Amino acid sequence: MKFIDEFRDPLKAQSLIREIRDLVGQIELCKRRPIGIMEVCGGHTHTIFRYGVNKMLPDEVEFIHGPGCPVCVLPRGRVDDCVALAQRPDVIMTTFGDAMRVTGSKKSLLQAKAEGADVRMVYSPLDALKLAKAHPDREVVFLALGFETTMPSTAFTVLQAQREGISNFSLFCNHITIIPTIKAVLDSPDLQVDAFLGPGHVSMVIGTEPYRFIAERYRKPIVIAGFEPLDILQSVWMVLKQMADGRCEVENQYRRVVPDVGNAQALEAIQTVFELREFFEWRGLGSIDYSGVRMKAPFAGYDAERKFEMPNIKIADPTSCQCGEVLKGVIKPPQCKVFGTSCTPENPLGALMVSTEGACAAYYNYGWIDRESIKPAKVSA
């Protein structure tokens, strides 16, 4: 297939759904309970609900929404650090649009901007670097976040800044890595996951080999999936086919984009600029060892955490927020006490309501929730 509309063909979708129903009848587990398939990437969650893929599947197949939205898992304390930086008169704070709406313990970057801070939305770190060139008398800080998908562009920007000798540019680095995250989910004592749809964009960079431990050590099938409706349906079929055959393997449905070996240039740039942190805090999941990255010593001049003093205080989420349970598949978003009342896309209280890729935002926008039946809940601090 060459065109987008071919990946949304209803006749092909119907054919795949029939085959999925046939496979479900061959899997013994389905006679006892639904099969839980975690889509790791928030982009997959968005597709599933936007196109109603979850409604097409038999009741024996259930999607579990993973921690694949990097904007959503930015901790409140790190947001407070961003706000503190933005409020410095010598700083221009830059970031992506969704990140401006993430709320810290008191306010978001968007609210800080409304109060006078110089916060600007950019489409890439290179835009931030251009601002640094245009404003040599100001410090330009880029809030860097995302999995390995966005890490290469950040790394290449730092390398370019170094080559050009631009000293008034720095990163507040919140990049995170996918493999320790999946391992943390797999090691969770209340795990509800039987298989995975692997993240397509991350895999474009890291390839398929890093996921092998999921199949070999944890005995869970994983299929790297694309982002169109037929991609999701075919990937579900591939997962169920593995289970029906008694196999646990890493398979690549998204071969038109994802090479098995990944992207060598992107990986080299990441390894040149970044190193793993011993600990990194995730909103909704807590601290996950070696899941975040920081800048290596040769690039300390571009590290905002070394360049500026920041509060660096850990702030817990409100006790009424149940994002951690949603991320681990223990509950669905509408089962959260504050879903759709105190927590909405316009006023996000929880991590997963912030970005359009967050599971709670996807449910709210596309999940056909009866909002009239949602009763207000008291929010605990």
CA 208 – CA 253 distance, rounded (Å)? 11
Q: 102 falls in which pLDDT band (50, 70, 90)?
A: confident
CA 261 – CA 210 distance, rounded (Å)? 10
State the Cα angle at 371 between 368 and 375, rounded to 5°. 140
What average pLDDT score do residues 338-351 get? 82
CA 317 – CA 234 distance, rounded (Å)? 37
Helix 359-366 × helix 42-50 angle, to 10°: 10
**What pLDDT score was predicted for residue 1?**
63
Amino acid residing at 97: G
Q: 66 falls in which pLDDT band (50, 70, 90)?
A: confident
CA 329 – CA 42 distance, rounded (Å)? 14
- Least Cα distance to 199 among 230, 170, 223, 167 occurs for 223
Helix 151-164 × helix 125-134 angle, to 10°: 20
All domains of the chain, ordered by start, with CATH? 4-70+179-252 (3.40.50.11750), 76-176+261-307 (3.40.50.11740)
How much of the chain, in percent, has pLDDT values that exceed 90? 64
What average pLDDT score do residues 139-155 get? 96
**What pLDDT score was predicted for residue 343?**
87
What average pLDDT score do residues 241-266 get? 96
Indicate whether this model's pTM tops 0.85. Answer: yes
Task: Kindly state the tokens that stand for 161.
Answer: 């800044």
Helices and strands of the chain, counted as H and E runs: 15, 13
State the Cα angle at 123 between 165 and 323, rounded to 5°. 115
Q: What is the overall mean pLDDT for the chain?
A: 90
**Sheet of strand 222-224, all strands in order from the earlier edge strand to the far edge:** 61-68, 35-41, 195-198, 222-224, 250-252
CA 201 – CA 191 distance, rounded (Å)? 25
